[in-house]
Amino acid sequence: LIWNGDMSVAKREGLYCSLVFTCCCSHEIKINTSKQCLNTSKRDINVRSVIGANFAGIGHQGLVKLCAILNVPLPIDDDHFFDTLDYLLPTFESYKLRSMKNAVEEACKKSNGRKITVSGDGTWQKRGFSSLHGVVEVLSNGPTAKVLDLERLSKKCSICTGLLSIKYSDPKKYSEIKNKHQCEVNHVGSSASMEVAGIHRLFARSKMLYNVKYAQ
Ligand SMILES: [Zn+2]
Ligand SMILES: [Zn+2]
């Protein structure tokens, strides 16, 4: 039996599309290739592609390349990509806190108390000590080390940097935004001192955050 009809793409958004099959009797069947995420206009496949690109560390540009090589349609554009990231951030943030809290309790159980042995580690955005951003973390000990707490350290703020362009042309707006924005800078001094300063901060707040004491 040969199906006598026509197929067309009614709509495409990134990796999602809506297919319409039209029969010779003009009856139509519509198929969505990905479901809509609850309470949003976002499609599951597009949200997942953003998460995937971030987990793989390739970003939007990498995702574009990957799709091209796979010979599938292009992903959502970078505006929608970063929009989706903003949308996901609170969820990831709360998941991160919950996961670290669980790891702390796990470590407490192992050490039979609220004093736990940890190790510290630091990563730079760029190789070497000229990096403007870094992340430090404390990890539980043992073969299945888990991150217990972490802190981003930045020597530069993207908003402050962007504002420089209007510093002299619009000083009023400049100081207005400058005073209101949440500055990303939380480290002054050399990049080499970032790790020590960060680890110190994490140790200092362990009591308040988790009611534990770290031992190295
Ligand atoms: Zn038909
Ligand atoms: Zn700033």
pLDDT in tens, 28-48: 999 999 999 988 999 999 999
Measure the CA–CA gap between 10 and 8, rounded to whole angstroms.
Answer: 6
Domains of the chain, residue spans: 97-216
**What ligand is nearest to the CA atom of residue 22?**
1
Is the separation of the CB atoms in 11 and 18 below 8 Å? yes
d(CA 38, CA 16): 16
Question: What is the phi/psi pair of residue 152, to 5°?
Answer: -90, 135
- Per residue in 93-151, pLDDT (tens digit) is 999 999 999 999 999 999 999 999 999 998 887 766 678 888 999 999 988 899 999 99
Instruction: Give 135's strand partners.
Output: 123, 152
What is the distance in A from the centroid of ligand 1 to the CA of 23? 5
CB atoms within 10 A of CB 158: 11
Q: Do residues 117 and 203 touch, judged by C-beta distance below 8 A?
A: no
Neighbours of 201 (CB within 10 A): 15
Question: What pLDDT does 194 receive?
Answer: 86
Q: How far is the CA of 36 from the centre of ligand 2 (A)?
A: 37
Q: Are 29 and 18 in contact (CB under 8 A)?
A: no
Section 191-208 average pLDDT: 91
**Mean local confidence (pLDDT), 170-197:** 90
Chain-wide mean pLDDT for the chain?
Answer: 92
Distance 35 CA to ligand 1 centre (A): 26
**What is the arithmetic mean of pLDDT over 12-17?**
96
| Rounded Cα distance, 49 and 66, in Å | 11
Q: What is the pLDDT of residue 68?
A: 97
Rounded to the nearest 10°, the torsion over CA 55, 69, 32, 4 is -160
Is pLDDT above 70 for 82? yes
Interface ipTM: 0.62
Helix, strand, coil share of the chain (percent; to 5): 45, 25, 30
- 3: CA distance to ligand 1 center in Å? 9
**CA 43 to CA 135: how far, in whole Å?**
32
CA of residue 158 to ligand 2 center, whole Å: 7
Q: How many CB atoms lie within 10 A of CB 191?
A: 19
Backbone angles phi, psi at 185, to 5 degrees: -70, 120
pLDDT, position 129: 62
AA letter at 64: V
How many angstroms does the Cα of residue 178 sit away from the middle of ligand 2? 7
* 3-class DSSP assignment, residue 30: strand
187 CB neighbour count, 10 Å cutoff: 21
Nearest ligand to the C-alpha atom of residue 158: 2
Distance 171 CA to ligand 2 centre (A): 16
> Is the pLDDT at 171 greater than 80, yes or no?
yes
Indicate the pLDDT class of residue 189, thresholds 50, 70 and 90.
Answer: confident
pLDDT class for 190, splitting at 50, 70, 90? confident
Q: What band does 2 get if pLDDT is binned at 50, 70 and 90?
A: confident
